[in-house]
Structure 1
């Protein structure tokens, strides 16, 4: 006997930060489509010359390529260039979602700041770098949850909001203080939103990935990460983006109907208590 996930066929999902070829966002969008959702997906509109070499070689076209994958599954896809830290952009995204697909049922806040000069001792981090990370990771999550949360409340049919955080928001670490603070903030927003929106049948959860094999790790020394993984992850490997997506699809489904206010680690066992 099989137990398929239910409740997503014909629903509309909005997934932010979904344009990179080797990313969590791409798989979030595609797996929600595979489960039956039509998808609005956002990206920053990266110019071709700013894309990684493997994307350029593959002819990858950011959110448009992900939209093509979704359409190949027989679902509707609406790619939108959007800066989630800009309130006007977020309002326009909501308007586009309404106009193109008529509703929203699932919101996945995945957009995140790229690795930059924020990675270093906190006393050496420039205020501008601190503000950049918090603006995208935390303010962006807030603006999206505010706009789309209101939409879900007004529609009165419940819904699911899934915020992509990180185990960094629970354990912190040397040289990652700004990123960790932003992700801890996402977890706090998740808890509050779950308490405030539960009365409307809206569930709010966060996923906290550990080391995941995405293009964001490309600027790091491979042997260093291999050593780190062997020393810190009981399952002995980095996670795959699709494994994060599978958990998100579950949280959006009927089978998670009584799950809210949670911040789940998906990290190969790295954090075994929190």
Structure 2
């Protein structure tokens, strides 16, 4: 006898940064829909010329394509171009969600700054890049969490907030100053909010993915270097998938995850911090 997840039927979920075809956000949105949620998808409205080759070949339409997948599952989907780093945009988003769907029960803060010229030593990191990365990764999580939590408290029916963090909070690798700092702060914010919102029946957790096979890591390639990295650092022998993260998110938002809050959960295949020696 199989036991499915419960408690998500007809809930309203918001998933930020949900427009990429090979990603974490898209599987999270689709898996929540399969569990019974109606889903709001946000993205920044990427120009088609910025799409990877496989998205262009597939005729991908960013958050609209994910919205169509969700509607195909029989759930409502609302695709909204919105910048989480702008508090006024976040307020407008929540006003629209409340008006059109009736509130919010689940928030997944998945939107993340693109990998750019921030991956340099701190002494070479421009102020502009520092603010760009923290603007989305930290300030965006703060604005979305604060605004959604205010609505959840007012609704009086509890809720769940999941912040997508990173294994980088443990690695703290050189040349990741802005990214690592933003994600460490997200973990701290998640724990603090869990303590504050628990009395209102609102759970807050951070999920920290390890190496996930998405278009975000296409600059690494998928050849010998990729295989060697996995062999050296991941005991389970493979990269994670967006579905691996989506399954954990959905569990935490369900009735079965109802006593889990204030946690930073690492989903990384047992990532080793010391590379394994060749056999």
Q: For residue 260 of structure 1, what is the aligned residue in structure 2?
A: 261
Structure 2 stretches lacking a partner, 5+ long: 274-279
Q: Give yes or no for the alignment of 1:188 onto 2:169.
A: no
Q: Give yes or no for the alignment of 1:86 onto 2:96.
A: no
Q: For residue 13 of structure 2, what is the aligned residue in structure 1?
A: 13
Q: Mean alpha-carbon deviation: is it higher for 24-33 or for 224-233? A: 224-233
**1:42-90 Cα deviation digits (max 9, x unpaired):** 0110111111111000000000000000000000000000100000110
**1:122-168 Cα deviation digits (max 9, x unpaired):** 11111111110001000000000010010001111110000000010
Q: Determine helix, strand or coil for the equivalent of 2:220.
A: coil
Where in structure 2 are the equivalents of 1:26-41 lying within 5 Å? 26-41=26-41
**1:90-114 Cα deviation digits (max 9, x unpaired):** 0011011011111110000000000
Superposed displacement of residue 225, structure 1: 2.6
Runs of 4+ in 1 over 4 A off after TM superposition: none
Where in structure 2 are the equivalents of 1:1-274 lying within 5 Å? 1-222=1-222, 223-270=224-271
Superposed displacement of residue 169, structure 1: 1.5
TM-score (norm 1): 0.97
Q: Determine helix, strand or coil for the equivalent of 1:219.
A: helix
CA contact (8 A) 1:105 1:152 kept: yes
TM-score (norm 2): 0.96
Taking a change above 3 Å as real, the CA distance of residues 271 and 258 of structure 1, as seen in their structure-2 partners, is farther
User: What is the number of residues matched between the two proteins?
Assistant: 272
CA RMSD of aligned residues (A): 1.0
CA contact (8 A) 1:265 1:271 kept: no
Structure 1 stretches lacking a partner, 5+ long: none
